[in-house]
Every structure is written in structure tokens, then in C-alpha cells.
Amino acid sequence: MRVGVLTGGGDCPGLNAVIRAVVRKGVAEYGFEFIGFRDGWRGPLEADTVDLNIAAVRGILPRGGTILGSSRTNPLTVDGGVEAIEANFDRLGVDALVAIGGEDTLGVATTLAKHGLPVVGVPKTIDNDLSATDYTFGFDTAVTIATEAIDRLHTTAESHHRALVIEVMGRHAGWIALHSGMAGGANGILIPEVPFDLDQVCGWVETRFESDYAPIICVAEGAVPADGNLMTKDTTVDAFGHAKLSGIGDWLASAIEYRTGKESRAAVLGHIQRGGTPTAFDRVLATRFGLHAIAAIKDGDSGKMVALRGTDIIRVPLAEATAQLKTVPLDRYTEASAFFG
């Protein structure tokens, strides 16, 4: 059997660990051959491939990024996109595909599976916002990086008696802000799910200064003021219709300084959260996802996604995986609010 592998959407630490596990088990246990597709769905669309074998995956377990490259190409918005992929699979002798991606990549995989292409999905996103799995790999690494950044911001904020705002990723879901803010002892956490009241945030900042501490506010890029709008870099959107989010951290730091009279600055963590080596947790989760995904291909269990449920890896229908986003429940946010101010 010849199995294609692709990684689509925003990269995240652990992608290489999945690729390695898929290939190692596939070759050693099932005698499969592999073909790598470059840059997400662009690879199958344009038949852009790369050799994928045991030698190609040697040494990649701790490496960030993806040896296959990634993109946000959406074949469903390309005229004849699905037909082109089907034709390329036929020509290249691809019998099945492992698609490693988030809601967008797996949404395309769901459509292709409905067209009869044997596809198994592996969930990835640093945002941890896929509903069918308890955790996605990449999230733990992003939270670890953001937590270390908050630890560092505390000491400089205190030296200068400043308020510091840290902007972390999280377009629709505030998981990174919630976890890193809690782990790093932030004095306020702002997430997309709960529009924030600027007066309340300024109140937290003032209370913190009163007790001789410098406040740290951790804000997700998709957080919105109760009486304002989502902040975007420009008016462009990607192939899946997502705007480029940017600006909430700087806006908030200026607003805090203006209202409280206390010097405030913002640090925007950006893609640092997505780069570099995965944590041990993410390496193990990604490896287990890879092992179970290739087993699903072997079983002919197409149209499924591997998922973490408790400590078990299970298979769920791909359609279920992308049906709705896993956002932060209000009780989790309320729980964290014990430390605000």
C-alpha cells in the first residue's frame, strides 16, 4: 500500500513526531510505502511530492516545524480542486492519505473522505480548539513558552513599576491565554469567549499596584472589548476566510496607561509560540497519534480522526471533529478569575 502524508495550516511543534511515527510503524509493521506531499493541500493539488522513508524521518522527533512544509491552501475554493487531487492520487498510486491539521485542513479531509478518498486525520493546533479531542499536540509547547515569557515579564515589570500586557495566540479560543496566564500568575486573563470590560481590567491593574506588585495582563489575540471590535492587521483574509489578528495587546497597554496614568507596555509573543522543539508531552501525544493513525489506515478505517480521550487514543468520525470548536467554558474562566486583580 502507498500512503500519502501532508501537514496543513499553521505549523506546530510535534508535526515531525507524527510523521516519524506514521512512517516508522507503517514501514516496519505493515510494509507500507510513503509519499510526502509538500505544503499542505498544495501538494496533492499540484502533485508536488517528496520522498518519505525511514531515512527521511531519522532525527526529526525533537525538531519543530514540519519537514513537509505547510500552507493554508484550500482546494475546495479552487475550480476542479477535488478532481485534480483524485487524478493526482491515481497517477501517483496513492491508496490512502494521512492528513495532519487543524479545523481547516481536517474540514477539507472530511469533504475528500465523502468523495471516497481513504483519509485518516490527525488533529494539530497550538490553539487546542478541536472539539473531538481532549488535547492537541503543540498546545503544551505553546503554553510552556508563554508561561516562561510571563515569568520573565514579572521581573522586568516590577523593576520598572510598569503594567505589562502579553498578547498570546488564540483566534477563537482562549486556551493558551487561560493556561499560560494561570501557570504564570497573570493578574488578568482576557479570552475571545468573554468580552472584557476595560474599566474592570484597569481596576485589576490599580489593585495590583496598590499591593506593590506590577500587574501582568495576559490577552488572547482574539479577545474583544465589550464595547469594541476584533482587532485585525488589515482587511485581507486567508483561503479559509480568516483575518490576520493583531493589535489587541498594544491597544490594551495604551488604554491602561491612558486611564490609570501608570506606564504600560505590551509584548506580543506571536510565532515564537509555534516554533522550536516540542515539549515531552507533545512529543508523546504526537507520536501516539501517528502510531494510531497508521493503524487506522491499515484497518481501512477511512473518514476517521485519531483523538485523545482521557489517556486513550480513540477514533472519531472526521465530520464530528470539525463540527464545532472547543472553546473555553465559562466555569473554567470563572475558576481562573480568583487570581484577577
Query: How many Å apart are CA 217 and CA 178, to the nearest integer?
Result: 11
* CB 144 to ligand F6P: min, Å: 15
Residue 170 within binding range of ligand F6P, rule CB under 6 A: yes
Q: Of 54-62, 86-94, 122-130, 182-190, which segment contacts ligand F6P by CB under 6 A?
A: 122-130
* CB 107 to ligand F6P: min, Å: 13
Neighbours of 249 (CB within 10 A): 27
Q: Of 27-35, 125-133, 252-260, 323-331, which segment contacts ligand F6P by CB under 6 A?
A: 125-133
127 is catalytic: yes
Neighbours of 64 (CB within 10 A): 18
Main-chain phi, psi angles of 223, to 5 degrees: -70, 145
Which CB atom, from 144 or from 302, has the smaller least distance to ligand F6P? Answer: 144
Residue 326 within binding range of ligand F6P, rule CB under 6 A: no
Q: Of 30-38, 107-115, 123-131, 261-269, which segment contacts ligand F6P by CB under 6 A?
A: 123-131
**Three cell numbers, residue 179:** 493556561
**Three cell numbers, residue 255:** 488604554
Question: CA end-to-end span of the chain, whole Å?
Answer: 59
Contact 173, 328 (CB under 8 A): yes
Applying the rule CB under 6 A, the residues between 236 and 275 that interact with ligand F6P are: 244-245, 274
Residue 143 within binding range of ligand F6P, rule CB under 6 A: no
Residue 282 within binding range of ligand F6P, rule CB under 6 A: no
Report which of 300, 260, 327, 215 is spatially closest to residue 1, judged by C-alpha positions. Answer: 300
* CB 306 to ligand F6P: min, Å: 19
Residue 127 within binding range of ligand F6P, rule CB under 6 A: yes
Residue 192 within binding range of ligand F6P, rule CB under 6 A: no
Which CB atom, from 127 or from 140, has the smaller least distance to ligand F6P? Answer: 127
Instruction: Identify the residue among 124, 154, 171, 179 touching ligand F6P (CB under 6 A).
Output: 171
Residue 73 within binding range of ligand F6P, rule CB under 6 A: no
- Burial grade of 135 (CB within 10 A; 0-12, 13-18, 19 or more): middle
Contact 308, 37 (CB under 8 A): no
* CB 98 to ligand F6P: min, Å: 20
Specify the pairing of strand 304-309 against strand 312-317.
antiparallel
The alpha-helical segments, DSSP class H, found in 15-118 are: 15-30, 42-46, 81-92, 103-114
Residue 126 within binding range of ligand F6P, rule CB under 6 A: yes
- Helix (H) or strand (E) segment spanning residue 177: helix 175-183
Residue 220 within binding range of ligand F6P, rule CB under 6 A: no
Q: Which of 127, 129, 140, 282 is catalytic?
A: 127
Query: How many Å apart are CA 116 and CA 319, to the nearest integer?
Result: 14
Residue 140 within binding range of ligand F6P, rule CB under 6 A: no
Residue 278 within binding range of ligand F6P, rule CB under 6 A: no
Rg of the chain over Cα atoms, rounded to whole angstroms, equals 21
* CB 105 to ligand F6P: min, Å: 10
Instruction: Calculate the dihedral angle through the C-alpha atoms of 323, 134, 123, 243, rounding to the nearest 10 degrees.
Output: 60
Main-chain phi, psi angles of 296, to 5 degrees: -65, -40
Number of residues lying near ligand F6P (CB under 6 A): 12
* CB 51 to ligand F6P: min, Å: 27
- Helix (H) or strand (E) segment spanning residue 7: strand 2-7
* CB 28 to ligand F6P: min, Å: 32
Residues that bind ligand F6P (CB under 6 A): 10, 102, 125-127, 169-171, 221, 244-245, 274
Active-site residues, by number, are 127
